[in-house]
Amino acid sequence: MASFKPHRSCARLLLAGLALFSFQPSLAHAQQQPAGFAVERFYQSAPGGGWFIMDDLNISGRLGGAISLTSGYARNPLVITDPDSKQKLAVVSQEAFVDIGGAVTYNRFRAYIDFPMPLSVTGTSGTLGSYQFTAPSVSLGTTPDTISDFRIGVDTRLLGEPGSRLRLGAGAQVIFPSGDRADYVTDARYRAMFRFLAAGDAGPYTYAGQLGVHVRPLNDAPVPGSPNGSEFLYGISGGRRFAGPTGWRFVAGPEIYGETAFNQFFSGKTGTEALLTGRLEQTGEARNLRIKLGVGHALVQNFGAAQWRVVFGVELFGHK
């Protein structure tokens, strides 16, 4: 009988070991799984706005309108770094989209609607700290008809005439939740943006800028690399015009834009990106065409500010 004692001790040790072993997976299960959010911070200007992000505020004439088609590819728009181990995880490593919008203009006012459609959103799943990230797996085959967070907006030119040295305006837009958070294409919450806009032309040079507020209810802190509530929007662009034949012209110049969360004002959650753009455009009162190309790189890489990106756009616009 005495010989049972060591056996019992061994059994207790074994049970304790098993218990510890069995608890470990449960601890792993206790890891939080971020739900995803709208990773893109490439908030385009309204159809007919001229620049990719900024707005030239050349809104004029009687009834007019614009149709735009923009497509782009972003590399590493969401790379998360573990604050302890400095390990990096590209939760969203590739993103391709097409975006179709339409605008109606009258006098100095513009109303528009815009439909982003993801073509591909993919990345790498993994664990960082206590968070288990699941990468999106979006393709045209798996989600053939997704519209992600479409928006409706209005812009107005408040001061200055089209082509003048200084034009001031304002814009507002509502972003409607659409799509699946796990695909990193939506916050699944209504959002809004309010922007003060400026633009002007001086000889062959042209510029534009914006300051604004992005009302973003989603605050996923402390999940690393996630939205932290409402954001401050900023951006500036400048370029030179080169006259071409038969009313065509070419405009080249950079756009620099970004956002930072008010909760961590320029101390975190800030993403800033520079886009070198060129556009070939024909402007006048009849139907006009604009073809745009941009190549960008993150200046401050955070979610939505891609390591690099390429965008292409076509706009048809005009007014009576």
Interface contacts to other proteins, rule CB under 8 A: 62-63, 65, 67, 100, 102, 113, 115, 117, 140-147, 150, 176, 178, 287, 316, 320
Cα separation, 74 vs 2, in Å, equals: 71
User: Least distance (Å) from other proteins to the CB of residue 274?
Assistant: 31
User: Least distance (Å) from other proteins to the CB of residue 113?
Assistant: 8
Rounded to 5°, the CA angle 163-165-170 comes to 80
User: Least distance (Å) from other proteins to the CB of residue 42?
Assistant: 19
User: Least distance (Å) from other proteins to the CB of residue 207?
Assistant: 31
User: Least distance (Å) from other proteins to the CB of residue 139?
Assistant: 9
**Toward other proteins, which CB reaches closer, 102 or 126?**
102
User: Least distance (Å) from other proteins to the CB of residue 214?
Assistant: 21
**Toward other proteins, which CB reaches closer, 30 or 63?**
63
Of the CA atoms within 13 Å of residue 277, those in its CB half-sphere come to 31
User: Least distance (Å) from other proteins to the CB of residue 146?
Assistant: 7
Q: What are the tokens at 220?
A: 């996923």
User: Least distance (Å) from other proteins to the CB of residue 48?
Assistant: 13
From residue 256, how far is each of 40, 53, 291 by CA, in Å? 16, 9, 20
**φ and ψ of 110, to 5 deg:** -140, 135
The Cβ of residue 143 has, within 10 Å, a number of other Cβ atoms equal to 21
User: Least distance (Å) from other proteins to the CB of residue 276?
Assistant: 29
**Toward other proteins, which CB reaches closer, 81 or 178?**
178
**Toward other proteins, which CB reaches closer, 13 or 314?**
314
CB 285 within 8 A of CB 307: no
Cα separation, 155 vs 44, in Å, equals: 13
**Toward other proteins, which CB reaches closer, 172 or 188?**
188
**Toward other proteins, which CB reaches closer, 178 or 263?**
178
What is the identity of the amino acid at 75?
A: R
CB 42 within 8 A of CB 309: yes
Preceding amide of 25 cis, omega within 30: no
**Toward other proteins, which CB reaches closer, 112 or 207?**
112
Helix (H, G, I), strand (E, B) or coil at 241: strand
Cα separation, 29 vs 25, in Å, equals: 6
**Toward other proteins, which CB reaches closer, 138 or 298?**
138
What is the identity of the amino acid at 168?
A: L
**Toward other proteins, which CB reaches closer, 273 or 315?**
315
The Cβ of residue 285 has, within 10 Å, a number of other Cβ atoms equal to 12
CB under 8 Å to 198, separation ≥6 — which residues? Answer: 57, 166, 167, 168, 169, 208, 209, 210
Q: Beta strands 137-139 and 131-133: pairing type?
A: unpaired
Cα Rg of the chain (Å, integer): 25
